[in-house]
Structure 1
């Protein structure tokens, strides 16, 4: 009897297994994004993924000419800073390396601006050791991105761009690059955070994907890919107390790379981003309570230019911008990112809080208008400040020189041979000459020419006012 029962159980188990197998085989196969669970999957690791993605990640070798001073005080702990500008400027060839990612079959490569910016010679080496000369076709220091074009390239391996807005915290990612020049290297991690904003390299400001995947020197410009092999970001830097890889890594989102590639393919030579024409501050809990906003967030407009697209849409100082294109914005960097990926000439929806009500209105994104005319003027040789180039202020000039929206006067575009010695800098706003207000370049030139034995300039620099006085 016992043997009979065991036989019946075996038959039923075999029947159930057959039915389950038939059911699974009848279902269509679907690609899933999941963590490896079986021993076979764990032992396999990321090898197939790396094998497919690595050929599209390149090493970049750069030469640039920099001007350095040869000072006898160099290395001296006491006098080096005191005599920093002592000695003649001498050209010196500087070598550097980094990484890049091929984006198209015809040889477009994305990297960081701080890797290839101002380069005089660029050599790109593929994973299979093929070498190509490359030229920068589009570069932008603020976003820390640069796009190269390989000379004579065709049928190149390349990575697909994924919409970085679909990336979620916790996803597995791989960073591929050339750290320390040792050759192509792969490191793994997860997406640690999204919508990170702040300083990047130099004057760059951005909006980043945060990862714990190591990003060492030389890895900049390399690929941050998901486990399906799609590019979700371009590695740009790591923040670390020790300077090593045990820190927080940041990558530029693929959506911005997509906008960059689109402008390059359209023939643009300078990266253009929409102009906001506003100044603002993040809304914290105290500000939110004072204005009746239930949840802290958004950007309160503190100043707005009359030519701003937000002003034309009806927004005013005191209003709080909550979202752009359906995405919440809590810092100016987030807002500029959303405007940039939406694109110049397009209309986007802006949700804002005004007078205790939430409203949504369309805003047409545009470049900063270059009107009224700049009326560039170079001062005469017989004036107290000869060969200084001055231009009128308009929205495009405000954006180009990063000036406050309330700036009024004329801007120093070139200091000439003596302006710098007199204390002037490019980007200075001259508001008064000898106590009289200056409204345009023509008036500034006349007032300079009419100066007597003394010259007094009222100058605004980086939001600070100063007086420059000279005896002629």
Structure 2
């Protein structure tokens, strides 16, 4: 009995020692060996969301069911006249023949009374627009307004019932790696759902308009344009707008206009009848190691100010050449796409808190955004400004920049002929607005010639080389 008690005591002590060693090795501070400088760290169970590929872990069914009823099929019917000179010459036929063209895409219902957002390129030049809901009901749609720069259009249908609609999410809160669904009508199919993740944000594809896309690897194909990109709660985070592919079909990546940008455009069109654009009033470029080396600065991220527009909000707030913008309100700025994407969600007279670095010190300034029409730039003695609604109506155009003034001595003799003309393209690239033109001209060397196409005050198109 005595020997049995000794054995029991030894066993008990051994077990306690083993348990204590285990706790010390594996349980201390969630790290192997319990040391703070350990190489391996185990995240606590509460860290982040439980993510996986299994259906038990990520369930898309609720988001898909909510979204497919809010995504519509958009049919664009356009007509153009095709003339046949030979028939006209020999048989006297006049007026040509009417040819009907049909295009298709997608749209997203954003209100129960029938407002629908889609891409501008889906309904461009349409003489008729037909909307088909997921329940197969069809309606004629009215075009309320468009924004060709951001590739967004607003439509309206008068349905005989309250419609399901999608709520806008805050696209600034979207995280890279977050699960998303793309819903649309590819290849004329009814609502199709594909899943993927957010691959990148504020993606700049160097287009003439929008410069801040959400990039995703969810499959998007022709016909998906104008459809919804939603999160796992079925909330709208983007409008699918394009794919990057040599074949025109999905090969790995697709792009969407962020919902914050789309919502701002829709609200502007509904409230003002057009898009209200505010500008910060700075020109420059994003930093990287090479640019920073050339500029002789240590910072490698942010937007470097090379020029401040006179009388702009930036100038009034004290921003100067050499300042580096690193944050707008709570949004970090490391690229031009970050900056332009955020400013595109704002209106004239909105106040933005600009955090910038000057001589190594961080400063903050309150900048009141200026109206975009007042934004101007100068190139080779030609001062340019954006065209206004009167110019657009007069010349029947929806883009271009006006020659405001001539200070170039070699062109002074032509000042009366040039001043007031509207530039349509520079080196065969559309002069969409002053921002686009400024970015394009900044890439030109001082002695490099530029080919300019413009329309004069009489509506005649001609070209010059300067």
Per the TM superposition, whether the score is higher than 0.5 is yes
Per the alignment, residue 10 of structure 1 pairs with none
1:257 is aligned, of 256, 262, 266, to: 262
CA distance in 1, matches of 2:83, 2:118: 29
* Aligned positions of 1:424-443 closer than 5 A: 427=401, 429=403, 431=406, 437=412, 443=416
Question: Kindly tell me: are residues 120 and 411 of structure 1, through their superposed partners in 2, closer, same or farther at Cα, counting changes over 3 Å?
Answer: same
Q: Give the structure-2-normalised TM-score.
A: 0.69
Change (3 A) 1:185 1:361: same
- Where does residue 381 of structure 1 map in the other structure? none
* Structure 2 SS opposite 1:287: helix
> In 1, are the aligned partners of 2:239 and 2:257 still within 8 Å (CA)?
yes
Change (3 A) 1:90 1:309: farther
Q: Deviations over 1:272-294 (max 9, x none)?
A: 21123332122121333465654
In the aligned structure 1, how far is the partner of 2:385 from the partner of 2:267? 35
1:190 corresponding residue in structure 2: 197
Measured in 2, the distance between the counterparts of 1:184 and 1:310 equals 46
SS at match of 2:204: strand
Cα pair distance change 1:89/1:278, threshold 3 Å: farther
Map of 1:325 onto structure 2:
329
Alignment of 1:57-68 (within 5 A): 57-66=71-80
Residue 248 (structure 2) pairs with residue 234 (structure 1): no
Preserved CA contact (<8 Å) 1:408 1:439:
no
Instruction: Tell me how far 1:335 sits from its aligned partner.
Output: 1.6
Task: Say whether the 8 Å CA contact 2:119–2:241 is kept in structure 1.
Answer: yes
**Is this contact kept in 1: 2:381–2:408, CA < 8 A?**
no
Q: TM-score, normalised by structure 1?
A: 0.68
SS of residue matched to 1:408: strand
- Of 103-112 and 147-156, more deviation after overlay is shown by 147-156
- 1:393-472 matched pairs, under 5 angstroms: 395=374, 398=376, 407-408=382-383, 427=401, 429=403, 431=406, 437=412, 443-444=416-417, 462=426, 463=441, 464=449
Q: Decide whether the 8 Å contact of 1:172 with 1:189 is kept in 2.
A: yes
Contact 1:60 1:99 in 2 (8 A): yes
Q: CA deviation at 1:56?
A: 0.4
| Aligned-partner SS, 2:146 | strand
Give secondary structure in 2 for the equivalent of 1:342.
coil
In the TM superposition, 1:2-401 aligns within 5 A as: 34-35=50-51, 41=56, 46-66=60-80, 92-152=99-159, 154-199=161-206, 203-266=208-271, 268-289=272-293, 293-368=297-372, 395=374, 398=376
SS of residue matched to 2:153: strand
Deviation at 1:143, TM superposition (A): 0.8
My pick for the range that moved more, 190-199 or 330-339, is 330-339
Q: CA deviation at 1:405?
A: 10
Asked if structure 2 preserves the Cα contact closer than 8 Å seen for 1:291 and 1:356, the reply is: no
Cα contact 1:164–1:232 (8 A) shared by 2:
yes
Instruction: Tell me if structure 1 keeps the 8 A contact 2:312–2:369.
Output: no
Contact 2:212 2:340 in 1 (8 A): no
Hey, what's the Cα distance between the residues in 2 that align with 1:199 and 1:123? Answer: 32
Aligned to 1:27: none
Alpha-carbon separation, structure 1, partners of 2:425 and 2:223:
36
Contact 1:191 1:210 in 2 (8 A): yes
The SS at the match of 2:233 is coil
8 Å contact from structure 2 (residues 302, 326) kept in 1: yes
Relative distance call for 1:292 and 1:308 in structure 2 (3 A) is same
SS at match of 2:382: coil
**What secondary structure is seen at the aligned counterpart in 1 of 2:344?**
helix
Query: Does the residue aligned with 1:188 lie in a helix, a strand or coil?
Result: strand
Cα 1:179–1:308 change in 2 (3 A) is same
Say whether the 8 Å CA contact 1:100–1:221 is kept in structure 2.
yes
- Distance in 2 between the 1:294 and 1:120 partners? 56
How many angstroms does 1:89 deviate by?
9.4
User: In 2 relative to 1, CA 118–366 (structure 1 residues): closer, same or farther, beyond 3 Å?
Assistant: farther
Q: State the Cα RMSD in Å.
A: 3.9
Measured in 1, the distance between the counterparts of 2:219 and 2:246 equals 14
Deviations 1:192-224 (A, max 9, x none): 111212245xx4323111111111000011111
Cα distance 1:101–1:347, how it changes in 2: closer, same or farther (>3 A)?
same
| Alpha carbons of structure 1 residues 434 and 339: separation in structure 2 relative to 1, 3 Å | closer
